[in-house]
Amino acid sequence: MTDQPPAAPEALDRDRFERFNSRLLGVAYRMLGSWAEAEDVVSETWLRWHDRRPTDLEEPVAWLTTVTTRLALDRWRTLARHREEYIGPWLPEPIDPGRLPHETVEQRQSLAFGLLHLMDRLGPEERAVYVLRYAFDHSYNEIATMLGRTPASCRQLGHRARAKIDFDPDDVGSGREIPAMEALLTAVLSGRSAEAVALLTDDAVLIADGGGKVSSALRPIVGPDRVVRFLLGIIGKIGEARVEMVSINAGAGLVYTIGDITRVAIVEVRDGRVARLHLLANPDKLTGLPEPPEAP
């Protein structure tokens, strides 16, 4: 019986890299709000890893995270210029959380769709520090090395980022959004406008993202009465749709299909009522959703 031949250097490289692939995708996705862009960044990270063949590293995850973060920063600046020409509000790309199978509970909280949307308020380096510190628990010394800054400046960026984001992680993954979504959908489909309004907070906002490819509201709709009027205006089409509840990011969302157009609704709940309603219809952003269960 002959011994198996040793693995080629490329295979060994790939095996080492794959151990960290999910983590790198998680960093890049949170940085960019786009799964497709995150995959491109991690692919470029792999090419740089392969070209250098850094087999001497005792802790390759630091090197890989640094490269991924810097590539994502460059990509973020390019995307920011493109988003200035985007038609209507821009929302992150929702994903099936199963694409990041090894994340901790704390990391999953930072995957919340509403939080990713709020992170658009941050500058690129504020966002990088926020992701590395609060999602992946890197120290400010580690982040400083990754970004080429001082620990003090990174700490300042982190504090500034936290001040700009009003988000309660305790609501993430609690399942509170499911009964709120179901109650709102039932009230709207039944035409009970007063009941639907009561299910929304006084400062409720609906944000729709069609990207100019699907008819959608071009500005945020503010206030419970206006939100309900908008929903009632599309009730006929919703009534004809197949509606499924699926896992999205750190919570749940409704996927509904009318003809060949799929839309996704994701809500944020505060004190038992819907505070934010995100509607996504841009088909370019709906490729990473979980498959709805087969109809019986």
Last residue of a domain, one of 108, 137, 165: 165
Q: Which amino acid is at 186?
A: T
Express each pLDDT in 157-183 by its tens digit: 999 999 999 776 666 666 788 899 999
Last residue of a domain, one of 140, 165, 190: 165
Pair (182, 223) in one structural domain: yes
The answer to whether residue 268 scores a pLDDT higher than 50 is yes
Q: Which structural domain, as residue segments, surrounds residue 251?
A: 177-285
Does residue 209 contact residue 252 with C-beta atoms inside 8 Å?
A: no
- Measured in Å, how far apart are the chain's first and last C-alpha atoms? 53
Is residue 248 classed as helix, strand or coil in its secondary structure?
strand
Pair (158, 13) in one structural domain: yes
Pair (18, 157) in one structural domain: yes
| Separation of CA 32 from chain center | 8
Pair (155, 190) in one structural domain: no
Which runs of consecutive H residues, i.e. helices, occur in the chain? Answer: 9-18, 21-32, 35-52, 60-83, 105-109, 113-118, 124-130, 140-147, 151-164, 177-189, 193-198, 224-233, 235-239
Express each pLDDT in 221-254 by its tens digit: 999 999 999 998 876 665 566 788 899 998 889 9
Pair (209, 123) in one structural domain: no
Pair (30, 64) in one structural domain: yes
Q: What is the pTM of this model?
A: 0.89
State how many domains the chain has: 2
Pair (90, 26) in one structural domain: yes
